[in-house]
């Protein structure tokens, strides 16, 4: 929506509603007119039952999503924005605003209630402070999700897209690649926001996999092993796993050797297949094994 990309008009709108932006809620609004249409087009919103937006802010991305999607459900935490959103989205009959904290919501119930359990997608310019928990909740939630298109800090985007086995990866990369195929779509400079943040951003899309690429006995164990292996990144995977999961070091080293990797391997050197084999081998049951 062109008026929401004009910094002067946005400031006047916020003033008229007596609103001061909250840093704590990550309120950096997009004012670059080319970004929202690109995100909406890339999100797959046109081809699914609907789209869930997290944090509509003043509605600039919401409005674009409403042009391409059957239904937009936008969850916003900040109550103060609702009168303003009613105004900016007054011509969008297919938008439903929901007030609440996305981290506290039962996402499976929300998906059932709002999209009738049909495949939906997510598209959002995420507040940076909830990037990891939101992405984990979406990927690990067993939701009927088609894809997740999000704007995040550039460094976070690189880590999220890095496959297990390369230096830039982390525990979250294991979950990301197990559940989806991530793709870095485009970069967005800090000057594209009002007010500008201290870092640049990037838009990434996770295309959910119809079936996992590796076989694991217990999905929760895969995540536990990944988090344990990366908990002390500077140490070997065996040291980190034994310290964080309370496993004996010889037991972990034996498991590593049995899957064909050296006992002194580091977490960032393990591929997704090796993480899967290791989690199957260690057979975690929620408790510790000494
Ligand atoms: N979509 C808008 C845009 O692109 O200009 C705003 C994005 S702004 C980076 C993040 C938005 O998320 C803010 O409107 C903020 O109030 C909202 N928000 C912050 N924490 C939230 C939470 N836990 N649940 C839902 N919304 C949240």
pLDDT in tens, 179-190: 999 999 999 999
How close is the Cα of 47 to the center of ligand 1, in Å?
A: 24
Query: Considering the chain, what is the average pLDDT of its residues?
Result: 94
Best CA proximity match to 229, nearest among 158, 281, 153, 183: 281
The answer to whether the Cα torsion of 48, 49, 55, 61 is positive or negative is positive
How close is the Cα of 125 to the center of ligand 1, in Å?
A: 7
**Which residues form ligand 1's pocket by a CB distance below 6 Å?**
25-30, 54-57, 60-61, 75-78, 101-103, 125, 127, 130
Task: Find the mean pLDDT for residues 60-82.
Answer: 97
Structure tokens at 103: 């981290």
Nearest residue CA, atom 6 of ligand 1?
A: 57
Question: Per-residue pLDDT for 286 more than 80?
Answer: no
How close is the Cα of 34 to the center of ligand 1, in Å?
A: 19
Point out the ligand 1 atom lying closest to the alpha carbon of residue 62.
1
- pLDDT attached to residue 289: 41
Task: Find the mean pLDDT for residues 117-130.
Answer: 96
Question: Per-residue pLDDT for 1 more than 90?
Answer: no
Structure tokens at 132: 């990891």
Task: Find the mean pLDDT for residues 65-82.
Answer: 97
Question: Per-residue pLDDT for 86 more than 50?
Answer: yes
Best CA proximity match to 57, nearest among 191, 194, 212, 210: 194
- pLDDT attached to residue 51: 98
What does pTM read for this prediction?
0.94
Integer Cα distance of 238 and 24 in angstroms: 38
Task: Find the mean pLDDT for residues 73-93.
Answer: 97
What is the per-residue burial (b if ≥16 Cβ within 10 Å, else e) of 247-261? beeebbbebbeebeb
10 phi, psi to nearest 5 deg: -65, -45
Question: Per-residue pLDDT for 258 more than 90?
Answer: yes
Neighbours of 49 (CB within 10 A): 19
- pLDDT attached to residue 195: 94
Kindly report the CA angle at 234 between 231 and 235, in degrees rounded to 5? 80
List the alpha helices (DSSP H) in the chain: 7-16, 35-42, 60-68, 82-88, 107-115, 131-140, 154-161, 171-179, 219-230, 237-245, 249-258, 272-282
How close is the Cα of 94 to the center of ligand 1, in Å?
A: 20
Q: Which of 77, 110, 122, 128 to mutate to test the pocket of ligand 1 (most atoms within 8 A of CB)?
A: 77
Do the bridges between strand 51-54 and strand 120-125 make them parallel or antiparallel, or are there none, so unpaired? parallel
Q: What is the pLDDT of residues 130-179, one digit of tens each?
A: 999 999 999 999 999 999 999 999 999 999 999 999 999 999 999 999 99
Task: Find the mean pLDDT for residues 225-245.
Answer: 95
Nearest residue CA, atom 21 of ligand 1?
A: 77
- Contact criterion met (CB below 8 Å) for 222 and 276: yes
HEC-encoded secondary structure of 109-172:
HHHHHHHCCCCEEEEEECCHHHHHHHHHHHHHCCCCEEEEEEEEEHHHHHHHHCCCCCCCCCHH
Read off the pLDDT band of 285 (50, 70, 90): low
Integer Cα distance of 104 and 142 in angstroms: 17
Neighbours of 172 (CB within 10 A): 21
Question: Per-residue pLDDT for 290 more than 70?
Answer: no
């Amino acid at each position: 929506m062109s008026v929401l990309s004009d910094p002067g008009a946005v400031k006047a709108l916020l003033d008229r509603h007596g609103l001061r932006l909250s840093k704590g809620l990550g309120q950096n609004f997009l004012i670059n007119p080319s970004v929202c249409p690109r995100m909406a087009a890339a999100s797959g919103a046109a081809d699914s039952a609907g789209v869930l937006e997290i944090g509509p802010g003043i509605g600039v991305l919401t409005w674009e999503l409403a042009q391409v999607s059957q239904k937009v459900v936008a969850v916003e935490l900040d109550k103060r924005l609702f009168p303003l959103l009613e105004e900016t989205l007054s011509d969008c009959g297919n938008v439903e605003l929901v007030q609440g904290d996305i981290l506290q919501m039962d996402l499976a119930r929300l998906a059932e209630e709002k999209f009738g359990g049909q495949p939906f997608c997510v598209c959002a310019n995420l507040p940076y402070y909830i990037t990891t928990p939101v992405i984990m909740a979406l990927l690990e939630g067993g939701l009927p999700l088609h894809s997740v298109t999000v704007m995040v800090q550039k460094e976070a985007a690189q880590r999220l897209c890095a496959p297990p086995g390369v230096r830039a990866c982390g525990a979250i990369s294991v979950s990301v690649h197990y559940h989806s195929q991530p793709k870095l779509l485009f970069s967005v400079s800090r000057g594209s926001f009002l007010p500008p943040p201290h870092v640049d951003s990037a838009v990434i899309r996770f295309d959910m996999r119809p079936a996992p690429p590796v076989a694991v006995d217990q999905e929760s164990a895969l995540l536990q092993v990944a988090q344990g292996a990366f908990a002390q990144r500077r140490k070997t995977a065996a040291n980190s796993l034994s310290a964080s999961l309370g496993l004996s070091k010889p037991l972990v080293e034996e498991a590593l050797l049995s899957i064909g990797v050296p006992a002194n391997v580091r977490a960032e050197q393990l591929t997704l297949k090796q993480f899967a084999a290791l989690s199957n081998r260690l057979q975690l049951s929620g408790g510790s094994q000494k």
